[in-house]
Amino acid sequence: MPSLRELQLDFAAAIVDQDASRMREHVQTGGAPVDERLDVYFHNMYYNLREVLREVFPVIERLVGERFFDYAADRYISEHPSTSGDVHRFGATFATFLAGFAPAASLPYLFDTAKLEWAMHEVFHAADCPPLAISRLARIVQTDCTTLRFMLNPACRLLASRFPVSRIWCVNQPMATGSESLNADSGGEFLLIRRRNFAVEARPLEPAAFTMLQTLHAGATVEKAYDDALLVDSGFQLGAFIQQHILEATIVDFDAGNASS
């Protein structure tokens, strides 16, 4: 007699793999065949997860068409079954899947476009975070800020792409006129994806500012991040950068520890 966990794992595998043989010995005889009984669960699971992906990646669907999207989604569901009870977490590796999906090889910008859509999804559902308090801002003025480690708002993400992904996203919105021409090879972008007033936006950044935020996000000190930014732009203005991103609540906290970067 299998344990409840073993029975549940066999049932899940039978649904994902469409392999009714794994459940035949556990199902009472009589009535409809096991395959037909499991078909109900199989179709419901694939339909529901396909709709989850469709909700998160509408631009990807618009770029490839509904039939291709459903085909890719079914492959993804089969190869990367959900491991969480929270459907908002499903699709985290869809962009990586598309990058290695041979039928989509002719559309190299799908990977970064999917990364943008997933980042926007994560940002939308991220926890709220209050801005940096005025009392704590005073401490920044009174200390050597180069030793600080700034923390970014959890409702923001960074994305670098060799394609104009924010433009690809914009021209594939439901309200887009379709009259705008777009060359996918017209150049890349550095983006800050953030949530403001319950709306998610993808804001372009200068390369040095992107480098600064990326290095800070990795846990480095301001000094290390500033050095990296100067390698990109020798005229990068640190003070203006810090002021802007604190006021815009991109930077929401700091650690005054003096650990090495």
Q: Residue ranges of the domains in the chain? A: 1-107, 129-261
Q: Tokens 């459903």, residue?
A: 70
Residue type, 221: T
Which of residues 65 and 198 earns the better pLDDT score? Answer: 65
Q: Which DSSP string do the residues of 73-92 spell out, in sequence order?
A: HHHHHHHS---SS-GGGTTT
Q: Which residues pair with 192 in a beta bridge?
A: 158, 203
Gap between the Cα atoms of 24 and 7, Å rounded: 11
Gap between the Cα atoms of 81 and 75, Å rounded: 10
Residues 103-160: tens digit of each pLDDT: 999 999 999 999 999 999 999 999 988 888 877 777 666 567 778 899 999 999 999 9
Would you state the CATH architecture of domain 129-261?
Alpha-Beta Complex (3.90)
The 3-state secondary structure of 161-187 reads ECCCHHHHHHHCCCCCCCCCCCCCCCC
Residues 49-104: tens digit of each pLDDT: 999 999 999 999 999 999 999 999 999 998 998 888 888 999 999 999 999 999 99
Provide the whole-model pTM.
0.85
What pLDDT is stored for residue 134 in this prediction? 73
What pLDDT is stored for residue 256 in this prediction? 78
The alpha carbon of residue 179 and the mean position of all alpha carbons in its chain are separated, in whole angstroms, by 29
Q: What are phi and psi of 196, to 5 degrees?
A: -135, 120
